[in-house]
Amino acid sequence: MDEISILKETFGPDAAPSPEAEQRAREALRDRMAPRPKAAWRLRIPIVVGLATSAAVVAAVAIANLGGAGPAVPVTTPERPQEQTQAAAKVPYLRPVNAAQVLENAAWTVEQEQWTDPAPTQFMYVETLEMRNPPAYEQKAPNGALLPGKAKYRKIQKWDRIDGQVQATMRNGKLETLRQGQDGTYFAFVPWSQIIKLTSPEAIAAYLEHPEGGVMAVPDALAGQYVLPPEVKAAIFRYLAQQPGMTVNPDAVNLDGHPAIGLGRVMEGYLSQELLFDKQTYTLIGERLIAVKDESGRGDGRKGDLYRQVIYRKMAIVDRPGDTG
């Protein structure tokens, strides 16, 4: 999916953004993104970037615990919650005191999951909930903080074929499918042959230095955008545990009724990019981008501003686009 298609999907047929808004969106996101290594596309947010273009559209900003932000939508829960609760009592750290211990609990949790290797023709299905500002405001402030009481939930459904050649999304209730190279459009996708090699923190570090296929997703993005084998997701959590500056955000977070622990690192001196884990099961349930200090120098961001929050609803391997597991 190209950038302009994403913007059209976001704003809908009745509120298309102006060219000036599109350009502001691209420039704002580019300012927030770290420089890319040569010949590699770095994916940090759950938006697929067209390889045929150099600009990126602004990420959806979101937050789930703002008053008046729309109806709650239940997060998918395990089929056997009692068994998972019992398993959670066996995690390595019953009362984790730092980010490394929370991440080790999360790694242990995913290692208990059952897994069957997918066929190249099967699809990764990822369903998320995002919160979005009203379209008119997004045109004026495409990369601004979420407006309390005005942002609304939006369900995102995406299917990526394991071989990276087909991608599908649900738009306005209609399933739309793209193929690599169709009408000159290309979408970034980390090769499955690369993904299955990421079974240790050392392998992940090597991948970040030399990504296969010239497409790189930072570990945080891999964990939220791809349906991963348990050993790969566990390795990602253990890799993150080794990174300097990884901390537990002491602020309470509530994702649709699920108390969550926020783990992340501060970027640009004031933004905390966090993964959110269920406090009892240590399952990864979302992500957010929050200002932990006042922005200085180039903007008007204030401590407590929320720029992004996503709830991970469902991740599954399915046979065809439209299937949800």
pLDDT per residue over 114-125, tens digit each?
Answer: 999 999 999 999
Instruction: Report if residue 129 sits inside a domain.
Output: yes
pLDDT at 229 over 90: yes
Residues in the chain: 325
Domain membership of residue 16 (yes or no) is: yes
Nearest to 290 by CA among 43, 67, 45, 61: 61
Is the pLDDT higher at 5 or at 242? 242
C-alpha triplet 259, 262, 264: angle, nearest 5°: 170
Cβ density class 124-162: b for 16+ within 10 Å, e for less: bbbbbbbbbbeeeebbebbbbbbbeeebebeebbbbbbb
DSSP state of 268: T
Q: Is 187 part of a structural domain of the chain?
A: yes
Instruction: Let me know if residue 324 belongs to a domain.
Output: no
Q: How many CB atoms lie within 10 A of CB 305?
A: 21
Identify whether 229 is part of a domain: yes
Q: For the chain, what is the mean pLDDT?
A: 78
Provide the domain limits for residue 257: 3-318
pLDDT at 88 (0 to 100): 54
Burial of 29 by CB count in 10 Å (0-12 exposed, 13-18 middle, 19+ buried)? Answer: buried
Q: Which residues contact 14 (CB under 8 A, 6 or more apart)?
A: none
Q: Binning pLDDT at 50, 70 and 90, where does residue 153 land?
A: confident
Query: pLDDT by residue (tens digit) across 53-99?
Result: 322 222 322 323 333 333 333 333 344 444 444 555 589 999 999 99
Query: How far from chain centre, in Å, is Cα 21?
Result: 24
d(CA 123, CA 164) in angstroms, rounded, equals 9
> Do residues 204 and 107 touch, judged by C-beta distance below 8 A?
no
Domain membership of residue 245 (yes or no) is yes
Residue at 283 is within a domain: yes
Q: Is the pLDDT of residue 230 over 90?
A: yes
Of 22-36, 46-60, 91-105, 197-211, which range is least confident? 46-60
pLDDT at residue 311 above 70?
Answer: yes
How far apart CA 304 and CA 48 sit, in angstroms, is: 28
**Nearest of 55, 65, 67, 69 to residue 132 by alpha carbon:** 69
How far apart, in whole angstroms, are the C-alpha atoms of residue 256 and residue 277?
A: 13
pLDDT, position 63:
29
Per-residue pLDDT, averaged over 300-309, amounts to 88
Q: With cut-offs at 50, 70 and 90, classify the pLDDT of residue 268.
A: confident
Which residue has better confidence, 316 or 182? 316
Q: Beta strand 152-161 with 306-318: parallel, antiparallel or unpaired?
A: unpaired
Q: Which residues contact 156 (CB under 8 A, 6 or more apart)?
A: 46, 127, 128, 129, 130, 169
Tally the domains of the chain: 1
The reply to whether 310 falls in a domain is yes
Q: Does position 244 have pLDDT exceeding 70, yes or no?
A: yes
Q: What percent of the chain is predicted at pLDDT more than 90?
A: 52
**Mean predicted confidence (pLDDT) in 41-55:** 35
Phi/psi for 236 (5° steps) reads -60, -45
**pLDDT of the residue at 298:** 64
